[in-house]
Amino acid sequence: MASYIVRRLVAMVLMLIALSMIVFLLFNALPADPARLTCGKACTPQVIEANRTRLGLDKPLYEQYGDFVKGIFVGRTYGSGTVTFECHKPCLGYSFRRGEQVTDLITKALPVTAQLAIGAFILWIVFGVSVGIIAALKRGKWQDRSIMAVALFGYSFPSFFIGLLLLFFVQIKWGLVGYEGYVSFFDSPSLWFQGLILPWIALALLYAAFYARLTRNQMLETLGDDYIRTARAKGLKERTVIGRHALRAGLTPIVTAAGLDLAGLLGGAVITEAVFNLPGIGRLSIDSVTDSDLPVITATVLIAATFVIVANLVVDVLYAVIDPRVRLT
């Protein structure tokens, strides 16, 4: 397994390098002038040219990419002569729109997105897998039909619709949850929980519906195998048969979907963050697109893609841990 992980790490690094090139070249190939986007409507040609020099946009494209990569590892200097400023490592660019380093913007936004994603992930995995197991064990009965009907109903609605329903009924009409905006856990745990519980539920309802159906299908397929009947014939407890044998054998596609879904959310739950006004990566991405802030857009795309690539590696390694029949070579 060690050699496999090393090979995958090398492949992951190469993929990230190729991805950074593609994203960097793609956004620099846009017809918009990045230097023109750094100032307002009253911009003069002299200011635009000065900004082009400060951002290093007057250099050839390959030198700009080299400076971008260099900034990630050792930092970089913007400007020339006496008018310079430092961007400390890891430097993902500088946003003239906000007057901040892109790394600082992401450092502020990423913890919010991580708390949203991990909280929702825990809810949908626990609830979705649990009801999926119940539906499989009660196949054809009213419990099975009810769970699948609710899952289909929940999976049919987009996350923004679920979020708006929760906001209107739970917060505005019934007043069950107050909202003071996002508050750090260290400032006030109760306000932090109130600010995230509805976004967690909005995401969890959507994903739990999918995982309930997926778990049910996997369990039904596994429960019909010979080794499950053998385990029951040996007199093993039903809890052991379900948990240690049936569920473990059917976890592979569940782990695959869970890893990629979590990685996607860590890259920014765009719609949910916009509905609940959470200052995360998704909200930062939307604002950056609206403001044509190319350095921030480039950085958020790279971060989201990095999460997905890393998640693929983690999921592949987990296969061998979950299912002893899988061997990584």
Predicted pLDDT of residue 4: 78
Does 142 share its domain with 20?
Answer: no
Predicted pLDDT of residue 325: 63
Q: What is the mean pLDDT of each run of 10 residues along the chain (329 residues)?
A: 82 90 80 74 79 82 89 84 77 86 93 95 94 91 91 85 91 82 89 92 91 91 82 83 78 87 88 91 90 87 90 83 65
Does 234 share its domain with 151?
Answer: yes
The domain of 306 spans 105-322
Does 227 share its domain with 286?
Answer: yes
Does 228 share its domain with 317?
Answer: yes
Q: Is 0.75 surpassed by the pTM of this model?
A: yes
As for how many domains the chain has, the answer is 2
**Has residue 329 been placed in a domain?**
no
CA 86 to chain CA centroid, nearest Å: 30
Distances (CA, A) of 127 to 110, 131, 139: 26, 6, 18
Does 85 share its domain with 202?
Answer: no
Predicted pLDDT of residue 80: 67
Predicted pLDDT of residue 212: 93
The rounded distance, in Å, linking the Cα atoms of 267 and 108 is 14
Predicted pLDDT of residue 197: 93
Predicted pLDDT of residue 97: 81
Does 84 share its domain with 115?
Answer: no
Distances (CA, A) of 18 to 24, 63, 65: 10, 16, 12
Domain end: 100, 115, 149, which one? 100
Kindly give, in sequence order, each residue whose CB lies less than 8 Å from that of residue 297, ignoring residues fewer than 6 positions away.
27, 285, 288, 289
Beta strand residue intervals within the chain, DSSP E: 76-80, 83-87, 94-95, 100-101
Does 158 share its domain with 259?
Answer: yes
Residue 132 near residue 215, CB atoms below 8 Å: yes
Domain end: 100, 117, 141, which one? 100
What are the structure tokens assigned to 40, written together? 């307002």
Cα of first residue to Cα of last residue in the chain, in angstroms, is 6
Does 74 share its domain with 146?
Answer: no
Burial group, residue 44, by CB count within 10 angstroms (0-12, 13-18, 19+):
exposed
Kindly give, in sequence order, each residue whose CB lies less than 8 Å from that of residue 141, ignoring residues fewer than 6 positions away.
none
Domain end: 53, 69, 100, which one? 100
Does 218 share its domain with 241?
Answer: yes
Does 178 share its domain with 31?
Answer: no
Torsion of CA 256, 260, 265, 267, to 10 degrees: 160
Residue 159 near residue 271, CB atoms below 8 Å: yes
The rounded distance, in Å, linking the Cα atoms of 235 and 244 is 14
Amino acid at 122: I
Predicted pLDDT of residue 324: 62
CA atoms within 13 A on the CB side of 144: 13
Residue 167 near residue 198, CB atoms below 8 Å: yes
Does 80 share its domain with 221?
Answer: no
**Has residue 95 been placed in a domain?**
yes
Predicted pLDDT of residue 28: 73
Residue 218 near residue 242, CB atoms below 8 Å: no
**Has residue 328 been placed in a domain?**
no
Predicted pLDDT of residue 49: 83
Provide Rg for the chain, Cα atoms. Answer: 24
Which domain CATH number covers 116? 1.10.3720.10
Predicted pLDDT of residue 323: 67
C-beta neighbour count of 267 within 10 angstroms: 24
